[in-house]
Amino acid sequence: MEMMAQTGHRYFITFIDAYSHHLVVRLIKAKDEVLGLTKAYFERAKVKTGECPNYLR
């Protein structure tokens, strides 16, 4: 059974910083949004810390 949020979002993606345990959850309407959100998260992390994340799981 597929569920949909009232806003039309079907999926979610989570980003967790292993060092600080900072959690970010983003709601997405389609799976093709994942790449753009991942790139944006990496850029934000680079600006905040000055270093690019080492790996993705």
CA atoms within 13 A on the CB side of 28: 16
Give CA–CA dist 36/41, Å, rounded: 9
Q: Per-residue pLDDT tens for 36-50?
A: 999 999 999 899 888
Q: What is the pTM of this model?
A: 0.78
Return the CA Rg of the chain. Answer: 13
- The model's pLDDT over 8-38, given as tens digits with 9 standing for 90+, comes to 899 999 999 888 888 999 999 999 999 999 9
Taking the CA atoms of residue 45, residue 17, residue 36 and residue 2 in that order, the dihedral angle to the nearest 10 degrees is -160
